[in-house]
């Protein structure tokens, strides 16, 4: 029986079982076709990365920071669990082609905190989760395996990598990518066909790639390492929307979206899909044809 996506009422088929032996099939390392039959036109008035980052900074310093970050984390959790059939320790295998787990790359800013919160939520459900803390503040009680280094053999243990390094802050910064970030980018590119990649707001390597020549990495036809899924928190970022060539673009966090609109975003309600009741994520656009 076809799966039914929580983001829309259309029954959707799952991709073929990814296990054909000890190792997954490369062709199936793609997100399940969530809402692909109801592609939504991308908003033409996406906000700039500079404006978006400044607003997030103000919200992070405000009284509603905790509530908003949890709203964003719930949205990130919803997208990951809908796109990828992860192993759930409480219910066992959610499907015959369950993924092994998630590796979160969490930076020091707002996006890193959201990623860490989402990792905790997934770990509480029994999903295999690990966090690479790239400046993110963590504690021993966070309930997630925290690494202070990037494991080059990550593809042997994790099927999904979630980029929460810089988010929109990378889209409005001209500073060079650090050595650690460059090493991670190169490692991701070299093993690109072995995992699925999710980016929150803005891939941390997109900005740095504009001004430097990349050597020794595997690039797509657009000249950049491309995520399979892009998640925009609250509102889409123009710079990310223009660069993204992956399968699904989601928008999450209705609470954050409302705060950004009150701040003068200038986005018409009719240009964005509405959030279903009790949902924190909705498809903004899809490039995957069934």
Whether the CB-CB separation of 112 and 165 falls below 8 Å is answered with yes
What CATH number corresponds to the domain at position 90? 3.40.50.10260
In a domain, 15, yes or no: no
Q: What is the pLDDT of residue 275?
A: 87
Task: Give the HSE-up count for residue 216: Cα atoms under 13 Å, Cβ half-sphere.
Answer: 6
Question: Rounded to an integer, what distance in angstroms lies between the CA atom of residue 139 and that of residue 133?
Answer: 11
Three-class SS of residue 44?
coil
| Torsion over CA: 233, 248, 172, 51 (sign) | negative
Sequence-distant (≥ 6) Cβ neighbours of residue 276 within 8 angstroms: 6, 7, 282
Reported pTM: 0.76
In a domain, 5, yes or no: no
In a domain, 27, yes or no: no
In a domain, 16, yes or no: no
In a domain, 243, yes or no: yes
Question: Rounded to an integer, what distance in angstroms lies between the CA atom of residue 237 and that of residue 29?
Answer: 26
Q: What is the pLDDT of residue 207?
A: 66
Domain count across the chain: 1
Q: What is the pLDDT of residue 101?
A: 83
Total Cβ atoms within 10 A of residue 110: 25
In a domain, 22, yes or no: no
Chunked into runs of 10 residues, the chain (290 residues) has average pLDDT values of 38 29 31 39 67 85 88 93 71 55 88 92 87 73 77 82 82 54 76 82 73 41 73 89 88 88 65 82 75
In a domain, 29, yes or no: no
pLDDT in tens, 156-179: 888 899 999 888 776 555 454 466
Q: What is the pLDDT of residue 143?
A: 74
In a domain, 262, yes or no: yes
Range of the domain at 187: 43-210+220-286
């Amino acid at each position: 029986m076809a799966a039914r996506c929580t983001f829309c009422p259309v029954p959707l088929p799952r991709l073929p079982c990814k296990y054909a032996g000890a190792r997954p099939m490369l062709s199936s390392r793609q997100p399940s076709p969530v809402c692909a039959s109801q592609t939504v036109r991308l908003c033409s008035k996406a906000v700039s990365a500079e404006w978006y980052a400044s607003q997030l900074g103000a919200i992070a310093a405000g009284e509603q920071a905790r509530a908003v970050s949890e709203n964003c984390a719930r949205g990130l959790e919803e997208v990951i669990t809908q796109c990828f059939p992860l192993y759930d320790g409480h219910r066992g295998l959610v499907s015959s082609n369950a993924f092994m787990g998630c590796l979160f790359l969490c930076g020091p800013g707002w996006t890193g905190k959201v990623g860490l919160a989402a990792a905790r939520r997934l770990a509480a459900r029994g999903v295999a989760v690990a966090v690479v803390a790239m400046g993110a503040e963590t504690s021993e009680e966070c309930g997630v395996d925290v690494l202070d280094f990037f494991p080059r053999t990550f593809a042997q243990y994790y099927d999904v990598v979630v980029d929460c390094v810089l988010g929109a802050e990378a889209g409005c910064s001209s500073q060079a990518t650090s050595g650690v970030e460059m090493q991670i980018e190169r490692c991701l590119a070299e093993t690109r066909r072995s995992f699925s990649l999710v980016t929150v707001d803005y891939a941390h390597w997109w900005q740095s790639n504009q001004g430097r020549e990349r050597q020794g990495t595997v690039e797509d036809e657009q000249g950049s390492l491309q995520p399979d899924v892009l998640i925009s928190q609250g509102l889409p970022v123009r710079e990310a929307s223009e660069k993204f060539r992956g399968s699904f673009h989601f928008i999450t966090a209705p609470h954050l979206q409302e705060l950004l609109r009150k701040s003068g975003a200038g986005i018409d309600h009719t240009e964005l899909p509405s959030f279903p009741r009790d949902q924190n994520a909705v498809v903004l656009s899809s490039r995957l044809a069934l």
